Amino acid sequence: MPRLATQIEAILYLKGKPLPLAEICEHARCDRSEVEDALIELMSDYGHRDSALEVVETPAGYSLQLRSSFENLIQSLVPPELGTGALRTLAAIALKEPVAQTDLINLRGSGAYQHIHELVDLGFVRRRRQTDGRSYWLNVTDKFHQHFELDQLLTTPTASSQA
């Protein structure tokens, strides 16, 4: 049987969110004082090792999280969630590419201007000026295909081809 601190580490990892002490006690099937001692041990372990993770106490409970010194990696490795409007704009670009920005605005409304800028900043969409200089052509990028794993969808056998 793993030591209690290791068991609590697994609980915090698997839950992926701050847990109140009472909930940790319930999952670990231990009393409050045992869990408090194990949390102190676990926090000390993380404090003394060279690790990207740490156990912290927050107002919502105890959490296993990335150390603040690694937050710069989040921007480059984990794209922020897109809102529904931006996702719909991205889907329209992907389905109709290349699409003129003016046509997309007519289709999606003026809010799409902000979506386009957000999608360009995130690297999902490329803008190219049209030859007449009046609007832009919009295309999805390789990052779009990689992030949404569309290449795998195209190579995955469909149910009709398996029958």
**Digits of tens for pLDDT over the chain (163 positions)?**
679 999 999 999 888 888 999 999 999 999 999 999 999 999 999 999 998 899 999 888 999 988 888 877 766 666 667 788 888 899 999 988 899 999 999 988 888 999 999 999 989 999 999 888 888 999 999 888 877 766 544 444 544 445 4
CA angle in degrees (0–180, nearest 5) for 102-108-110: 70
User: 19: which DSSP letter?
Assistant: B
Instruction: Give the class (CATH, top level) of 4-71.
Output: mainly alpha
Q: What is the pTM of this model?
A: 0.51
- Residue 144: the pLDDT is 85
pLDDT of residue 46: 92
Q: Tell me what pLDDT residue 149 has.
A: 65
Write down the pLDDT at residue 155: 47
End-to-end CA distance of the chain: 48
Instruction: List where CATH 1.10.10.10 sits in the chain.
Output: 4-71, 84-153
Whether omega before 79 lies within 30 degrees of 0, making that bond cis, reads: no
Which two tokens mark 42? 């676990």
Determine phi and psi for 50, rounding to 5 degrees.
Answer: -80, 95
Specify the CATH architecture of the domain 84-153: Orthogonal Bundle (1.10)
DSSP 144: H
> How far is Cα 123 from Cα 79, in angstroms, rounded to an integer?
10
**Residue 79: per-residue pLDDT:** 62
Strand order in the sheet with 125-129: 99-100, 136-140, 125-129
